[in-house]
Every structure is written in C-alpha cells, then in structure tokens.
Amino acid sequence: MNRTTMLASVAALALTATNALAETRTIGFSQIGSESGWRAAETTLTRQQAEERGYQLQFSDAQQRQENQIAAIRSFVAQDVDAILLAPVVATGWDAVLREAQEAEIPVVLLDRRVDSDESLYLTAVGSDLVHEGEVAGQWLVDQVAGEECRIVELQGTTGSSPAIDRKTGFENAISGHDNLQIVRSQTGDFTRAQGKEVMESFLQAENGGADICALYAHNDDMAVGAIQAIKEAGLQPGTDILVVSIDAVPDIFQAMAAGEANATVELTPNMAGPAFDALEAYWADGTMPEKFIQTESRLYTQADDPQGEYDRRKDLGY
Ligand code: AHR
C-alpha cells in the first residue's frame, strides 16, 4: 500500500469511527406540544436534523404541561441520554430538574423559549430575541398608522411563557411615547387558533362589534388566523377594517396576507435544532463551550414581500 492509499484508508477509518460514535448518541427532546403550526415545524425539523446526523431521538410531547416536561427530563436522566433538548412551556420552576441533569453530566440545550434559572444550569439556549420581535411588530404598526388614533387589541401567548412576556414588553416598548396608539384589551389565547378566535369574538363584542378596533396584535400567527375568522364572521374585513400583525411567519399567515386579510408578520425560524446540534457536537468533540445564547434572526414580512411566494416556499416544510 503506498503512502497516499494508506492515508486515505486511515481517514476513511476515522470517518467510520466518528459516524459510529454519532450513531450511538441519544438525544432526549422534551417538546411543549403541538399548539401551533410553528411548533409542528420545529418538531419536524428537529426529527430531520437528528436523523441526518445519525442520532437516536427520544421524543416526548408534554401536551402543554410543565409537570410532563419535568417527568420527561427525569426519565431522560434515568436513561443516561447524551443530551437533552428542552423547549420550556413556561419560564419559571426549572431549577431542581436542571440541577439533576447537570449532576448527571447531561448537557441541556434550551430551544426557542427561555427560563429564569441560572444560566450555569444549561449549556446554551437557541432562540430569537423575543423582545425585539415584539418591538418590530409594534414599530410596524406605529409607522403604518402614521399618527392616526389606533385602539389595539392584543392576543397574548401562553401565560408565564417567555414569548408571551417578552413579545408583550417589546410591543409596549415600541408604542410607548406614541399617544395615538393604545392597547385597549389584552388576553391570552394560549398560542392556539381556536382560542385566538374565541377571544377575538369577545373583543369584537366588547368593542362596538369591532368598529372601535383599529388593529390586532397577536403573539403568534395561529391566534391571528383564528382571529381573522372571527373578524370575517363579524362582517368586517381583516387587514383593512382591522389591521393584523403577528409573529412566526407560518404558511397560513402568508396565505392570509396574499388575500389581503393579514398585514405583517415577524419571522421565527423553526430550525432551532440545527444550531443546537452544532453546539453539542463542538462540545462533545473538545469541550468547546458555546455562547449562552445562540440568536436566530427575526425579520419582518409585509404584504409587499411576495406573500404568495413565501406561502409556496414554506407550505411543504412541516408546518
Ligand atoms: O416559543 C415560540 C412560540 O411558541 C411560537 O411563536 C408559537 O407559535 C409557539 O407556540
């Protein structure tokens, strides 16, 4: 065997060994549930990423309950998985279970939502700047109404979740100092389409059949889509009589935008697992510690941004 062939053989053996090692990795994923189209896409992409990288994914659907997530993490620790991905339904109450994972030397990566625990208890968090998302949505509305009076209704996400807290803060930051804009009603719709519709119906009733509402701000697109249905059933034109701005950039909101029934959305990428696995791989390889927060981009889309094209590009991506 000449030197080149020998080096090639050694490299091939090393690659095989690396792949074999990767194949043995088991990842526990505690997912919140399936409350929204965005959540479904995050689950799909995490499964795809795990498969492509040769990991075995232990998936646990918490059905929106923190106690189910805590039980799932304890079960992952008992199974001695190689890493845990956690999309935490609410921000508080994680200290004890995160400490248990740390004591078992299992790295935990947070996906898309934040916790109020000390950051030493997890390896890294992958997500967007949730306050910024709310600010982008609020600034769009400030610019859109251009000084006109605007009474806003707000559909909040799951109570106690970091996106509900931060998207509210961000939006309020953006409209503060603009006395023409005022949030007149604000209630949770739990990030679901059904509750978005139901709560919007009550807002419409309370606000002169909707005549006194200028805009809807929804913390996610699914609630906006439910609310759009309620606005139409009330005999009003969403997107015109009531402006609609929300967050996620799921295919259905682009369809609504293409039909003129929604006005703007702020994108949240569902591919949180890619950066999470990259960070874990570097950590496993040589102990590289990632940044504590790996930030994904948040971009604004309006009706001017080819909503039909965006719908076509996204419709088969697992939303
Ligand atoms: O944590 C991200 C949020 O959770 C998404 O914006 C929403 O759709 C989902 O339920």
Residue 14 has pLDDT above 90, yes or no: no
**What is the predicted pLDDT for the residue at 9?**
52
Q: Which two tokens stand for residue 26?
A: 């088991």
Residue 297 alpha carbon to ligand 1 centre in Å: 15
Task: Give the residue, by CA position, lying nearest to ligand 1 atom 2.
Answer: 112
Kindly tell me the burial class for residue 297, based on how many C-beta atoms sit within 10 Å of its own C-beta (0-12, 13-18, 19 or more).
exposed
Using a 6 Å cutoff on CB, does residue 62 contact ligand 1? no
The residue whose two tokens read 């030397």 is: 105
Q: What share of the chain is helix, strand, coil (3-state, %, to 5)?
A: 50, 20, 35
Residue 291 has pLDDT above 90, yes or no: yes
User: Do the beta carbons of residue 166 and residue 316 sit within 8 Å?
Assistant: no
C-alpha closest to that of 94 among 112, 110, 78: 110
Average pLDDT over the chain, rounded to an integer: 94
Strand pairing class (56-61; 26-31): parallel
**What is the predicted pLDDT for the residue at 3?**
52
Residue 289 alpha carbon to ligand 1 centre in Å: 27
- Stated as kind and residue range, the H or E segment containing 9 is helix 3-24
Residue 21 has pLDDT above 60, yes or no: no
Residue 152 has pLDDT above 70, yes or no: yes
Q: Check if 3-128+270-288 and 130-268+302-314 are the same fold.
A: yes
- Per CATH, domain 130-268+302-314 is 3.30.70.330: no
The secondary structure of 168-228, three-state, reads HHHHHHHHCCCCCEEEEEEEECCCCHHHHHHHHHHHHHHCHHHCCCCEEEECCHHHHHHHH
Residue 35 alpha carbon to ligand 1 centre in Å: 8
The domain 3-128+270-288 belongs to what CATH superfamily? Response regulator (3.40.50.2300)
**What is the predicted pLDDT for the residue at 281?**
98
Q: What is the pTM of this model?
A: 0.93
User: Do the beta carbons of residue 300 and residue 134 sit within 8 Å?
Assistant: no
Widest distance between CA atoms in the chain: 86
**What is the predicted pLDDT for the residue at 24?**
83
Residue 295 alpha carbon to ligand 1 centre in Å: 16
Please state the rounded mean pLDDT for residues 276-291. Answer: 98
Using a 6 Å cutoff on CB, does residue 113 contact ligand 1? yes
**What is the predicted pLDDT for the residue at 262?**
98
Whole-angstrom distance, CA of residue 284 vs CA of residue 55:
13
Ligand 1: which of 30, 31, 112, 132 to mutate, judged by most atoms within 8 Å of the beta carbon?
A: 112
Residue 272 has pLDDT above 70, yes or no: yes
Domain boundaries, given as residue ranges, for the chain? 3-128+270-288, 130-268+302-314
pLDDT digits (tens, 9 = 90+) for 55-103: 999 999 999 999 999 999 999 999 999 999 999 999 999 999 999 999 9
pLDDT digits (tens, 9 = 90+) for 29-61: 999 999 999 999 999 999 999 999 999 999 999
**What is the predicted pLDDT for the residue at 16?**
45
Using a 6 Å cutoff on CB, does residue 247 contact ligand 1? yes
pLDDT digits (tens, 9 = 90+) for 187-239: 999 999 999 999 999 999 999 999 999 999 999 999 999 999 999 999 999 99
